[in-house]
Amino acid sequence: MRERQNKERQEETTQIIIFKLGEEEFGVDILQVREIEKLDQGITRVPKAPPFVEGVINLRGEIIPIVDLRVRFGLTLPELGLNSRVIIVEVGEALVGMLVDAVVEVLRIPVSAIEPPPPITKGVDSYYLAGVAKLDERLIVLLNLERTLSPEEEKELSEAELE
Amino acid sequence: MDVSQYLNVFMDECQEHLQSLNQSLLALEQDPENTEILNSIFRAAHTLKGASATMGFNKMSNVTHAMEDVLSLLRQHELTVNAEIVNALFEALDLLEVLAQGITEGREEDIEIAGIIQNLQKFSTKEAMATETEQTSERRRNLQLRYLPAEIEQIKKAAEEGFNQYHLHIYLQEDCLLKGARAFMILRELEAHGEIIRTIPSAKELEDERFDTDFIIGISSKKPLEFLVRFLEKMLDVEKVEGEALAADDLLVERRGGTTKAATNEATPQKGASTKPPSNVSPTVRVDIRKLDDLMNLVGELVITRSRLEQLSSEQGDQILEETVEQLTRLTMDLRDQVLKTRMVPVDHVFSRFPRLVRDLTKETGKEVQLQISGAETELDRTVIDEIVDPLVHIIRNSIDHGIEAPEVRTAAGKSLPGVVELKAYQAGNNVVIEIVDDGAGVNREKVKARALERGIVSVDDLENMDDEEIMNLIFLPGFSTSDKVTDISGRGVGMDVVKTQISNLGGVVELASEEGKGTKFTIRLPLTLAIIQTLIVQLGNEVFAIPSTLIDQTISVAQKDIKYVRNREVTLYRGELIPLIRLQEYLGVEEAKNSSLEELDVVVVSNGERRIGFVVDTLVRQQDVVIKSLGAYLGSIPGIAGATILGDGKIALILDLRSVA
């Protein structure tokens, strides 16, 4: 029974945009991505915004908040470089820009290759992850955008309680 | 029929009719003999009945129908206007408002209407006499002769030549056969004695037998009325004839949408905004407010792009380019002003509902109050208008409930009766100011203090350090209410703090001034529009921020040596009072601000109603009109930040709401 379901699912595929934070590869579902922008303007800092919100940018007249995923995940990584991009994603009704070090490619992967995430993957807590995709030699970490970008810092709060 | 697409239009019209009904009814109460007012009430009720029936809102059409019955008896002088009837009509109006609300919320069906209808029918059936069924009264109403203006002119001319205008109401026998032919015969016979101007139903309908048993003929004749009546009564199948002679001025005029009396002074509209039934001056178009919002946004974009172009062209130094950009600037500004204007609505929209409010309040409290309105033509942005209703209602209720004294108290104090509540609106620069002034008892400071203590809002120590103004402003704090008795009027302590918040949310401020025994004055300052605001751009380190001009009292320059310290906090002297100084970089977390090393500090003094605070910045850059943009759903509301705007160079500046800091 279970085997048959797995076989059927092998036909199903999903498209993922692969980007880099440092040397690690992450992925987001293409259906949630509005567009990808070069960061050719300064980011305007917003006082009193959550710490992982880098600021806001002007996207053709619209004000878009920018989230730095490295701060979000507590990763220490080098400064932004030439390949840095902003991936504009839709979360609920809001548009949010995610700051990444580079956008690599768009991949079509079989749904069956996606597995539930282990507790910690590449230094990122599984709370923020939708799963991991194993493709030949590569391991791509798929983000749960709703949780990753949630302004309420549930994760941080729960961690604080543990400490 | 699918009517959903017309619902918005219907609701808009419905609100207009309700408002005009309210105004006219108030006017009728003051002037019960005025048939013109009565007619306008009848017209509005009639139109509303038709519209609601078309839309399938039966409850609303039933209520208006019952109102119409009473009104038509009033018009026919079978009833006279008295307080009881006016009250019943007001109650019906309130019910209509509830129904309208119910329709928008989709729960019209649950609303009880039988009580109000019975109440109205009491008048219409008692006076309409037992013999006359409701149907006949309806028929009578429908059988009212109306004339075209040209016909009336003709009748007037004929009158000069000795012709009289008669209305002949002819009842045929119930068993009359070939009614159509009989009616035709009657018309032909009558033509020998005068000129038939109009019939109800029309001659064609009479011939086709499309009438019950009676009809009316309007005839211009030199013969006496008696003669014509007798002449007709002698004819076959005629049961009875009622005749009436009319003066040309008493004739009803037929119009699209209704009738009105052909008063000779019709060309000169009455003055006096509060009692005048609304009249359409020029043709208008109804536009969805969202379309105007979109338009406003586009103009905002244009303004931004224009300033960017301006910046670029000044860098280029090309004179022709600069001139073209200058022209573009002028056009953009004109366009912006026009778009702003389309969104503007006279405050009369709001003010016109207050005479009714005051009337009801005076009845409830037994106080004598006169409401004086001025500046109702002052215009405000539509979005602001909608939001300003509740705060104003609250303040007016407050003025009548707490301010104006009972008549015997006023007489004892040697004050005039009735008490006066003044509602004033005027434009002052980029602001609209609304004042609510009463000549009542004023704010009783001792009572305020006692209540504040009782409610635990302040401590005894706090009170001792407060000046008069601060004490008065305690009434704006949450959970405060000074009325000895809790009444339905001012609610239960959900009063002035809500007013203050609502006005703040509109970017406005409210101020209070009061002299005990003399009266109280509330002053509300509102921005003309919410979309574009005038700001002062300031710089701190490498960052620029925009401060709304409405918040700014003044900008001053303070020498380092003029900074004093109170409890280790920086203060300075401003207009004779010590005001706290706040280094804006500390509040906003700006690094590299350089004002701590300056000898002369640029300070923006922000006024939050009664309190003033100086914010120290690095540089005052310039004044600029900016388009407010929201930071978006993701960031939500951040304290101290009202939004953002895009400057000419494409950079973003945050708009600061410094009142929440103060």
B33 and B129 co-located in one domain: yes
Domain boundary among B142, B165, B188: B142
Q: A63–B639: do the CB atoms touch at under 8 Å?
A: no
Q: Please check whether residue A1 lies inside any domain of the structure.
A: no
The C-alpha atoms of residue B424 and residue B433 are separated, in whole angstroms, by 8
User: What residues make up the domain containing A17?
Assistant: 7-162
| B165-181: burial string, b at 16+ Cβ within 10 Å, e else | bbbbbbebeeebeebee
Q: How far is B654 from chain A (nearest CA, A)?
A: 8
Give residue B521's pLDDT: 92
Residue A2, in any domain of the structure: no
Identify whether A131 is part of a domain: yes
Smallest Cβ distance to B629: which of A42, A63, A149? A63
pLDDT of residue B635: 82
Contact A151 B636 (CB under 8 A): yes
If one counts the domains in chain B, the total is 5
pTM of the full structure: 0.49
Distance (Å) of CA B368 to CA B66, B359, B361, B405, B516 = 32, 9, 10, 9, 20
Whether B353 is covered by a domain: the verdict is: no
Specify the pLDDT at position A77. Answer: 67
- Rounded to the nearest angstrom, the minimum Cα separation between B53 and chain A is 40
Residue B549 domain flag: yes
CA dist B659 and B551 (Å) reads 8
Q: Give the CATH number of the domain where residue B116 resides.
A: 1.20.120.160
Domain match, B362 and B475 both: yes
* End residue of a domain, out of B468, B499, B527: B527
Residue B115 domain boundaries: 4-142
Nearest to A118 by CA among A100, A141, A96: A141
Q: What is the pLDDT of residue B282?
A: 62
Q: CB of A77 within 8 A of CB of A83?
A: no
pLDDT (tens digit per residue) in B371-417:
999 998 888 888 788 888 888 988 888 888 888 888 888 888 888 88
* Phi/psi at B243 (5° precision): -120, 150
Which residues does A contribute to its contact with B (CB < 8 Å)?
41-42, 44-49, 53, 56-58, 61-65, 91-96, 149, 151
Q: Do A65 and B301 touch (CB under 8 A)?
A: no
Query: Distance between CA atoms of B250 and B198, rounded to whole angstroms?
Result: 15
Q: Using the beta-carbon criterion (under 8 Å), do A46 and B301 form an inter-chain contact?
A: no
> Judging by beta carbons within 10 Å of its beta carbon (0-12, 13-18, 19+), is residue B287 exposed, middle or buried?
exposed
> Residue B273's pLDDT is what?
37
If asked whether residues B383 and B510 sit together in one domain, one would say yes
Query: Which of B590, B630, B652, B657 is the best substitution to test chain A (most A C-beta atoms within 10 A)?
Result: B652
CATH code for the domain in which residue A27 is found: 2.40.50.180
In a domain, B651, yes or no: yes
Evaluate if residue A4 carries a pLDDT over 80: no
Tokens of A46: 């917003």
Tell me: pLDDT of A127 over 60. Answer: yes
> Do A46 and B638 make contact, defined as CB atoms within 8 angstroms?
yes
Residues of A with CB below 8 A from B631's CB?
46, 56, 63, 65
Cross-chain CB nearest to A96 (options B590, B634, B638)? B634
**Quick one: pLDDT at residue B110?**
79
The answer to whether A61 and B630 are in contact (CB under 8 A) is no
Cβ distance of A93 and B633 shorter than 8 Å: yes
- Are the C-beta atoms of B620 and B555 separated by less than 8 Å? yes
Q: Which residues in chain B land under pLDDT 70?
A: 1-5, 126-144, 253-282, 430, 479, 481-494, 529-531, 609, 661-662
Task: Choose the mutation target among A32, A34, A56, A63 for the interface with B, i.e. most B CBs under 10 Å.
Answer: A63
Structural contact between residues B522 and B511, judged by C-beta atoms closer than 8 angstroms: yes
The residue with tokens 């048959």 is A4
Q: For residue B298, what is the nearest residue in chain A, using CA coordinates?
A: A61
pLDDT, tens digit, 9 for 90 and up, residues A40-70? 778 899 988 888 888 999 887 778 999 988 8
Q: Which DSSP state fits A67?
A: E
Please tell me the total count of domains within chain A: 1
Is the residue at B112 inside a domain? Answer: yes
Mutate to test the interface with A, among B635, B646, B658, B661 (most CBs of A within 10 A): B635
**Residue B252 sits in the same domain as residue B293:** no
Which residues in B420-439 are b (16+ Cβ under 10 Å) and which e?
bbbbbbeeeebbbbbbbbbb
Say if the Cβ atoms of B640 and A91 lie within 8 Å.
no
Quick one: closest CA in A to B304, which residue? A61
